[in-house]
Structure 1
Amino acid sequence: MPQWILGDRFETTYPHKGSIKALWETKWKFCASKSIYPFHDGAFEDFEPIFEKLIAENINDAFSDAYTNAFLPIASSLESQAAEALNYGHPDKAAELYRRASVVLRISRFPYVSPNSRPENSIKRVAFDRQKDVYLKAASLWNPIIKEEIIPHKHAAGKDGAQIPIYIRLPDEASHGPVPVVLIMTGLDGYRPDNSQRTHEIINRGWATVIVEIPGTADSPADPADPESPDRLWSSVLDYMAQRPEFDMTRVAVWGLSAGGFYAIRAACTHRDRLVGSMAHGPGSHHFLNPDWLRKVNDHEYPFTITDSWAEKYGYDSTEEFIQNAQKKFSLVETGVVDQPNCRLLLLNGVDDGVVPIEDCLVLFNHGGPKEGRFFEGMVHMGYPNSLPVSYKWLEEVLSPNKTEVKN
């Protein structure tokens, strides 16, 4: 068994585990009060009564219908208030209320929505579909707006679906000529409607953004059980982007978030000739699929259990089958993907990550081309908040090296 850098915490059950009350009081109440992950863009007053209800009714299973149902009345109230504000000529207020409703729906459908789910048999799918609807209502009132495009998956093969839903946001500069692009690869629980602040920062730098969900999550058409399906997915997305005159295809960078970081690493190798850089933020690569890690990760910092969601995300019918077999099939080290050359690749994470071990970044320095890394002592998964200024600074160097620095 590896001697994990996480040390004694590897064997520790984190204090928020075991109940919604513990999660709220030791972890999420603070996050909600500060509007930080996973409550970014949200309002504390929307969530406090919901969690008081969950605690009072002893609803502890986030995968249950009862959990999701507890959020829906407040989401509906916010939607109604937004529609009324819009009707009375207050678009800014309407946008704020729609955005808040979207965040309530985000937490209601946590921690995972499967592409195989359908509204008739999954309340989390219902909540996610509502989230997308109200989010786009909010985003349609912003300047510039976010638009959804449904594009052809022209490289689809095997069990891949035929269409790829993406979000696009273009800066004003795109009306005068092609601009750099950040291709955001989303995570296990964060999907297209969950990246507002990133798109604000990107747009403010004069770049466009394209947001795509990773295989095995949300609306992704990529076959989750096929290790090569992401390569086909990104080829189709990049081919579509190349047809758009607003995008400067000589300056495309990837930003992979959490589980999306795995795909950012892979794309840095498989699509190295089409990218100027790739940023893997909180990524797994190899060790996170080690059976020893997987048997303890549910006790660590993730709000709920994670292995069942990971198993379905990677196309397994059983969690035990995933634990026993996924590393050999999907590891970027085992499969030799990272022994290829790569484009510029930045690895970012907290050293004390209990979701994916920091070893998954470190091992990559022994494979393929040179890598860049920034790891934050004492920080957990993603290295927030310290990692964000580093993220934008690196993107500025890659995409706009001669432009005056933009403040974060």
Structure 2
Amino acid sequence: MAPHTTEGSTATAVEGTTPEHWIMGRKEFERRMPHHDGIKALWETRWRLPCSKSVYPFHDGAYEDFAPIFEELIKRNINDACVPSYTEAFLPTAERLASLADKKATASTTTAAKEASALYLRACAVYRIARFPYITAFPEVNDAVKWRAWQAQKETYLKAGQLWECPVEEVLVDHKHAKGNDKAQIPVYVRVPKLEKEQKKRTKCPVVVLMTGLDGYRPDNTVRCDEFLQRGWGSVVVEIPGTADCPADSADPQSPDRLWTSLLEWMGSDGRFDMKRVMVWGLSCGGYYAIRIAHTHRDRLVGCVAQGAGCHYFFDKEWLEKVDGHEYPFELTPAMAMKHGFKSVDEYKAKAQKKFSLLETGIIQRPSTRLLLVNGTQDGLMPVEDSMMLFEYGTVKEARFFSGALHMGYPLANGSVYPWMEEVMASVRD
């Protein structure tokens, strides 16, 4: 039985109401994880291990760059990531690494280029953690110091990207369908497969539109884009409404539909992309938009992956009362309130579900393109209930859930995503 239906009731009578039992379990739902007790607890219980392995959110980074920074933050008792002193603690290390990379990049050898690229990416990782947990420029920049780190990260990442065999190109796409408070340009990062010597002209490539999340943006997806290139696919990386440089009005529930229409029209006119083989992969908060576009633009897409996605219950008042104690490294609701254009957390909790839920607005009752839902059953940010409820609406869905795994189903999830993507791409006939 679905989590939003109860025995003896019709689905329509109770659909979308707070589940009586969260799948993650009441104990885990009520739990406040220890990393919320300050920067020392965050480093020691949550972040040190992934940092030592250079995995999210420390991908492209190096432990030796971060350990001294966190030692200093702990020593100075800086526990709030939203104060300038937190961000400023990271900047000297990032700037030093970028400067070292600049010097390496002047040497015209393959080895020097690889070394410079690695140093640039290490610098970008430091800038990334400096700007945690969240930045936006809509309707105005929310944090000037973090925004400086963001600008530096982009500049540094593009330097790295120019050293690669398949370089990164930044494109400012005209937002032709902008309306109301939408801004005029959509910044995207593009990579396409290398043109082989025997090819007289570039053939159009399948392409993945990668929709980023609440805190991971365009420069934070090197490994995924490399995976796409290895499969002969291009990538278009774009930020979601209410984050970083996205031009869509974060307070307007329809703004993403206009955004994606402008983006897909540009892709069709660009000439590099096989528009019969366009796939979307939405990460975390981006998963919400992957679900939405799977329904609103289904005829233009071959498939969508929504990983760690919310669509209805992650706006639930009961859920939001506890989510700040779950696995996100800092408080989640202040960032989510700002991301959705609300002036306060209380307003967000009271109004977000009615305004943005894909159930309340009827989006998920439409037919969709092929849609793969991926998550961990213990996701404390976007409840797995949001993925499961989609099976009751519209067209047939596909899914892979990982028992006991947290948000996004890491670390095993990607092993299920890529084979599905390959199968869907290969299923298209010219």
Matched residue, 2:50: 31
> Quick check: 1:183–1:212 contact (8 Å CA) kept in 2?
yes
Matched, 1:377 2:403: yes
- Aligned-partner SS, 2:343: coil
Number of matched pairs: 403
- Relative distance call for 1:19 and 1:235 in structure 2 (3 A) is same
In structure 2, distance between residues paired with 1:154 and 1:86: 38
Matched residue, 1:22: 41
Matched, 1:396 2:422: yes
- Relative distance call for 1:158 and 1:119 in structure 2 (3 A) is closer
Matched residue, 2:202: 176
Matched residue, 1:111: 133
In structure 2, distance between residues paired with 1:245 and 1:194: 26
Question: 1:63-82 maps to which residues of 2 (within 5 A)?
Answer: 63-82=82-101
- Counterpart residue type for residue 328 of structure 2: Y
- Relative distance call for 1:263 and 1:298 in structure 2 (3 A) is same
Question: 1:317-356 maps to which residues of 2 (within 5 A)?
Answer: 317-356=343-382
In structure 2, distance between residues paired with 1:149 and 1:133: 14
TM-score (norm 1): 0.96
> Quick check: 1:173–1:206 contact (8 Å CA) kept in 2?
no
In structure 1, distance between residues paired with 2:87 and 2:141: 13
Question: 1:178-193 maps to which residues of 2 (within 5 A)?
Answer: 178-193=204-219
Deviation at 1:97, TM superposition (A): 0.5
Aligned equivalent of 1:296, options 303, 322, 325:
322
- Counterpart residue type for residue 217 of structure 1: T
> Quick check: 1:283–1:361 contact (8 Å CA) kept in 2?
yes
In structure 2, distance between residues paired with 1:371 and 1:82: 46
Matched residue, 1:85: 104
In structure 1, distance between residues paired with 2:40 and 2:383: 27
Identity %: 53
Deviation at 1:18, TM superposition (A): 1.5
Measured against aligned partners, the alpha-carbon deviations of 1:296-325 in whole angstroms (never above 9, x if no partner) come to 000000000010100010011111000000
Aligned equivalent of 1:42, options 61, 70, 88:
61
> Quick check: 1:173–1:179 contact (8 Å CA) kept in 2?
no
Measured against aligned partners, the alpha-carbon deviations of 1:333-359 in whole angstroms (never above 9, x if no partner) come to 111000000000000000000011110
TM-score (norm 2): 0.92
- Counterpart residue type for residue 5 of structure 1: I
Matched residue, 2:32: 13
> Quick check: 1:352–1:378 contact (8 Å CA) kept in 2?
yes
- Aligned-partner SS, 2:34: coil
In structure 2, distance between residues paired with 1:401 and 1:143: 29
Matched, 1:155 2:155: no
In structure 2, distance between residues paired with 1:53 and 1:158: 45
Matched residue, 1:257: 283
Matched, 1:387 2:416: no
- Aligned-partner SS, 2:277: strand
In structure 2, distance between residues paired with 1:326 and 1:217: 17
> Quick check: 2:161–2:168 contact (8 Å CA) kept in 1?
yes
In structure 2, distance between residues paired with 1:316 and 1:182: 31
Deviation at 1:400, TM superposition (A): 2.8
In structure 1, distance between residues paired with 2:408 and 2:252: 26
Of residues 270-279 and 12-21 in structure 1, the stretch that sits farther from structure 2 once superposed is 12-21
Structure 2, unaligned runs of 5 or more: 1-17
- Counterpart residue type for residue 288 of structure 2: F
Of residues 86-95 and 356-365 in structure 1, the stretch that sits farther from structure 2 once superposed is 86-95
Deviation at 1:120, TM superposition (A): 10
In structure 1, distance between residues paired with 2:103 and 2:281: 37
> Quick check: 2:275–2:300 contact (8 Å CA) kept in 1?
yes
Aligned equivalent of 1:306, options 332, 338, 341:
332
Of residues 116-125 and 174-183 in structure 1, the stretch that sits farther from structure 2 once superposed is 116-125
Deviation at 1:331, TM superposition (A): 0.2
- Aligned-partner SS, 1:352: coil
Deviation at 1:173, TM superposition (A): 5.1
Of residues 114-123 and 30-39 in structure 1, the stretch that sits farther from structure 2 once superposed is 114-123
CA-atom RMSD in angstroms: 1.5
Question: 1:238-257 maps to which residues of 2 (within 5 A)?
Answer: 238-257=264-283
